[in-house]
Chains A and B, each alone.
Chain A
Amino acid sequence: QSALTQPASVSGSPGQSITISCTGPSSDVVNYNYVSWYQQHPGEAPKLMIYDVNKRPSGVSNRFSGSKSGNTASLTISGLQAEDEADYYCSSSPTSSTLWVFGGGTKLTVL
Chain B
Amino acid sequence: QVQLVESGGGVVQPGRSLRLSCAASGFAFSDYGMHWVRQAPGQGLEWVAIIWSDGHKKFYADSVEGRFTISRDNSKNTLYLHMNSLRAEDTAVYYCTRRTYGGNSFDYWGQGALVTVSS
Please list the 8 inter-chain residue pairs (A to B) with the smallest Cβ-Cβ separation, ordered nearest first. Answer: A93-B104, A36-B105, A51-B105, A45-B109, A100-B47, A105-B44, A102-B45, A34-B104
A interface bracket (residues with beta carbon within 8 Å of B)? 20 to 34
Q: How far is the CB of B41 from chain A (nearest CB, A)?
A: 12
- Give chain A's interface residues, CB within 8 Å of chain B: 2, 31, 34, 36, 38, 40, 45-48, 51-52, 57, 89, 91, 93-94, 99-105
Interface of A is mostly: strand
Alpha-carbon gap, A89 to B97, bound state (A): 15
- Give chain B's interface residues, CB within 8 Å of chain A: 35, 37, 44-47, 50, 59, 61, 95, 100, 103-112
> Which of chain A's residues has its CB closest to B108's CB?
A48
Q: How far is the CB of A61 from chain B (nearest CB, A)?
A: 17
> Which of chain B's residues has its CB closest to A37's CB?
B105
Query: Which residues of A lie under 8 Å from residue B111 when comparing CB positions?
Result: 45
Q: Known interface pairs A100-B35, A102-B46. Does A51 touch B107 (Cβ–Cβ under 8 Å)?
A: yes
Alpha-carbon gap, A22 to B71, bound state (A): 32
Partner of A89, one of B44, B95, B104, B107: B44
Partner of A47, one of B100, B109, B112: B109
Query: Is there an interface contact between B106 and A36, defined as CB atoms closer than 8 Å?
Result: yes
Query: Is there an interface contact between A101 and B47, defined as CB atoms closer than 8 Å?
Result: yes
Query: Is there an interface contact between B47 and A34, defined as CB atoms closer than 8 Å?
Result: no
Query: Which residues of A lie under 8 Å from residue B103 when comparing CB positions?
Result: 34, 51-52, 93
Query: Is there an interface contact between A99 and B45, defined as CB atoms closer than 8 Å?
Result: no
Query: Which residues of A lie under 8 Å from residue B106 when comparing CB positions?
Result: 36, 38, 46, 48, 91
> What are 16 A-B pairs with beta-carbon distances under 8 A?
A2-B44, A45-B109, A45-B111, A48-B100, A48-B105, A48-B106, A52-B105, A57-B107, A89-B44, A91-B47, A91-B105, A99-B47, A100-B47, A100-B104, A102-B45, A105-B45
